[in-house]
Amino acid sequence: MRKRTTPKVFANAKELRRNLTPAEIKLKTHLRAHRMADIHFRSQHAIGHYVVDFCAPRKKIIIELDGSQHLEQEAYDQERTAFLESKGYRVLRFWNHEVMNDIESVLGVIWDVLK
């Protein structure tokens, strides 16, 4: 067992990496292409009982992409964000449509946080 989570959560993260959403694929492509100041982002990264969409562990930054299902799970998302922040992470949230339709603005926000 690894320190930051359980084998079950690691297995879930591995499965999620195989089935990225179109928005996750698009953002991953841009994060890898630009290398965001040599910051490495991991996709579907397990932390505690959660699997986050993207994480830059050395910078303690998490990027979450939200689809329409997140409108109905606001309390869960708040609990999740509070847990991640308690571990020292800064959580950035973007809607899928922002990534799909205005990727440059999304990358600009991420870049500003990395500076």
Model pLDDT for residues 40-97, shown as the tens digit of each residue: 899 999 999 999 999 999 999 999 999 876 567 788 889 999 999 999 999 999 999 9
What is 7-114's CATH topology? Endonuclease; Chain A (3.40.960)
Write down the domain spans for the chain. 7-114
Q: What is the pTM of this model?
A: 0.86
pLDDT at 2 over 70: no
Whether 98 and 65 have beta carbons less than 8 Å apart is answered as no
What sign does the dihedral 37-92-107-50 (CA atoms) show? positive
